[in-house]
Amino acid sequence: MSSNITINKEIENYINDNSFELHKIQKEIILYNENLGKIKRMQIAISQCHFLHLIIKTSNIKKVLEIGTFTGLSTLSMSLALPDDGKILALDKNNETNKIALDFFKKASQNNKIETLIAPAMESLTSLKEKKEKFDLVFIDADKENYKNYYEVSLDLIDQNGLIIIDNVLWHGDVIDKTKNDKLTLNIREFNSFVNHDKRTENLIVPVGDGFSVCRKL
C-alpha cells in the first residue's frame, strides 16, 4: 500500500523539472511577477499551469471563462492549450495588471484567442448569464469572499459535464489548522464544505499549488 508524501519545495522543484517545459512567455510572466513583492502570490504555481494545460487538452475544451486574471499566467497557460478556434474570456477589475497581461498575450501570439473584460466580476457574470452564454470550463481565482457567488453563477454558464476549477482551496494549509479562524480562512473552509455537499456537481480537491477544486456539473 502506497503512502502520501509531503510536497516540500525540493519535491515541488523536482516535479517541475520533470514535467513539460513552459512556454518562454509563461517563464517571462513568472520572472516579472517575482519583482512584485507579496502580490506575486496571486499567480498560480507552475504545477497548476501544467494541470490546466492537460485538462484542456484532454477534455476537448474550446471556450473558457476566467474569473481573476492578474498578469495573465493562468490565462496564457489555458490559451496555449486551446485549439486554434478556442476562446477565453478573462474577467478582472484591475486595469493596470490587465494592460500588462495583454502585452504578454500579444508577445505569445495568443491575443487572438483571449478577450479581457474590466469590471467587477459579478457585474460581468450577471450580464453573461442574462445573455445565456455558455462555457466548457470556468476557472475561478479571484476574491475569496465571493467564491460561492462566482460558483453559483458559473453553474448557470456551463452545461452538463462542464467543469469549474477553483484555486486556493487549501489556503496555504490553513484550512486544517484549527487555530486559524480569520475571515478568509473560515470562508474557504465553508466554501469547500458547501461544494463537497452540493448534489449538482461532483468534486475533487487536487493538491497542486495552493489546491484546486475540480468540479464536474452533473
Place of cell 460581468: 124
pLDDT over 70 for what percent of the chain?
97
Q: What is the pLDDT along the chain (218 residues), one digit of tens a residue?
A: 566 888 888 999 999 999 999 999 999 999 999 988 776 667 999 999 999 999 999 999 999 999 999 999 999 999 999 999 999 999 999 999 999 999 999 999 999 999 999 999 999 999 999 999 999 999 999 999 999 999 999 999 999 999 999 999 999 999 999 999 999 999 999 999 999 999 999 999 999 999 999 999 99
What are the CB-based long-range contacts (under 8 Å, 24+) for 82-88? 82/56, 82/113, 86/61, 86/62, 86/113, 87/62, 87/63, 87/113, 87/114, 87/115, 88/63, 88/64, 88/113, 88/114, 88/115
User: Which pLDDT belongs to residue 37?
Assistant: 76
The 3 state secondary structure assigned to the chain is CCCCCCCCHHHHHHHHHCCCCCCHHHHHHHHHHHCCHHHHHHCCCHHHHHHHHHHHHHCCCCEEEEECCCCCHHHHHHHCCCCCCCEEEEEECCHHHHHHHHHHHHHCCCCCCEEEEECCHHHHHHHHHHCCCCEEEEEECCCHHHHHHHHHHHHHCEEEEEEEEEECCCHHHHHHCCCCCCHHHHHHHHHHHHHHCCCCEEEEEECCCCCEEEEEEC
Domain boundaries, the chain: 9-217
Phi, psi of 210 (to 5 degrees): -95, 15
User: Which pLDDT belongs to residue 136?
Assistant: 98
User: Which pLDDT belongs to residue 186?
Assistant: 96
User: Which pLDDT belongs to residue 1?
Assistant: 54
Phi, psi of 70 (to 5 degrees): 55, -130
Segment 147-187, tens digit of pLDDT: 999 999 999 999 999 999 999 999 999 999 999 999 999 99
User: Which pLDDT belongs to residue 40?
Assistant: 63
User: Which pLDDT belongs to residue 29?
Assistant: 96
Which residues, at least 6 apart from 87, have a Cβ–Cβ distance to it below 8 Å?
Answer: 62, 63, 64, 113, 114, 115
**The domain over range 9-217 is classified in CATH as 3.40.50.300:** no
